[in-house]
């Protein structure tokens, strides 16, 4: 869920979906797989338009498959930044994945998405593997501050993986949580 100001800046979801379908068709991109056991990510999706590596991790076919994407420039920003915002989104991912988890860095007073993770599950084991895999290709990542929602599994994994990190909850997610509790 995005904040209201962020949602107001985006086009309607059906427009985004239509644009993506049109782009895929015009560029002869492969179909989105409908089974997590697809053999590999097509080469065209593994690299940026500048022919730089983008797919950093593919754990391979299976029920816990994980794909992690980050360009060289995004990796550099990840390594040099100390302040991050992290969140998962569920509505836009292909059916074979559960969520897209995105790590944003605060860089030169802008918030830049630097890592995109397609995950099959939403639990501590998955989040720990995600962090471990990111550290494989970005060992210099050393966050000092992370803002996130109030999901316990992520909070625990981040505090265990980065003992020095200051974790703070997002006010928007706090309001959502309180509202959900009041509805019960």
What tens digit of pLDDT does each residue of 95-117 get? 899 999 999 999 999 999 999 99
Cα of first residue to Cα of last residue in the chain, in angstroms, is 20
Tokens 């509805």, residue located: 183
Q: What is the pLDDT at residue 69?
A: 98
Domain count, the chain: 1
> Does 180 map to a domain?
no
Q: Is 133 helix (H, G, I), strand (E, B) or coil?
A: helix
Which range of 25-29, 34-38, 58-62, 91-95 scores highest in mean pLDDT? It is: 58-62
Query: Looking at residues 128-147, what average pLDDT do you find?
Result: 97
Distance of CA 86 to the CA centre of its chain: 7
Q: Which residue has the higher pLDDT, 156 or 176?
A: 156
> Does 163 map to a domain?
no
What share of the chain has pLDDT > 70, as a percent? 91
> Does 183 map to a domain?
no
- pLDDT of 182 > 80? The answer is no
For residue 87, the cross-strand partners are 102
Domain that holds residue 117: 4-143
> Does 80 map to a domain?
yes
Instruction: Locate 76 and state its tokens.
Output: 């550099």
Residue 99 has a CB neighbour count (10 Å cut-off) of 19
Query: Looking at residues 66-89, what average pLDDT do you find?
Result: 97
Residue 54 has a CB neighbour count (10 Å cut-off) of 19
Q: What is the pLDDT at residue 83?
A: 97
For the entire predicted model, the pTM comes to 0.82
């Amino acid at each position: 869920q995005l904040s209201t100001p962020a949602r107001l800046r985006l086009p309607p979801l059906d427009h985004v979906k239509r644009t993506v379908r049109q782009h895929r068709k015009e560029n002869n991109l492969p179909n989105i797989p409908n089974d997590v056991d697809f053999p590999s990510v097509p080469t065209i999706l593994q690299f940026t338009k500048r022919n730089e590596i983008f797919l950093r991790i593919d754990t391979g076919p299976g029920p816990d498959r994980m794909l992690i994407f980050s360009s060289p420039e995004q990796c550099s920003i990840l390594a040099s930044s100390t302040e991050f915002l992290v969140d998962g989104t569920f509505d836009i991912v292909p059916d074979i994945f559960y969520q897209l988890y995105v790590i944003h860095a605060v860089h030169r007073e802008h918030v830049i998405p630097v890592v995109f993770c397609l995950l099959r599950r939403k639990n501590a084991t998955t989040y720990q593997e995600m962090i471990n895999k990111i550290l494989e290709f970005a060992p210099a990542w050393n966050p000092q501050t992370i803002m996130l929602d109030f999901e316990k599994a992520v909070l625990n994994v981040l505090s265990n993986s980065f003992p020095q990190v200051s974790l703070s909850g997002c006010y928007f997610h706090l309001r959502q949580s309180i509202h959900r509790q009041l509805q019960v």
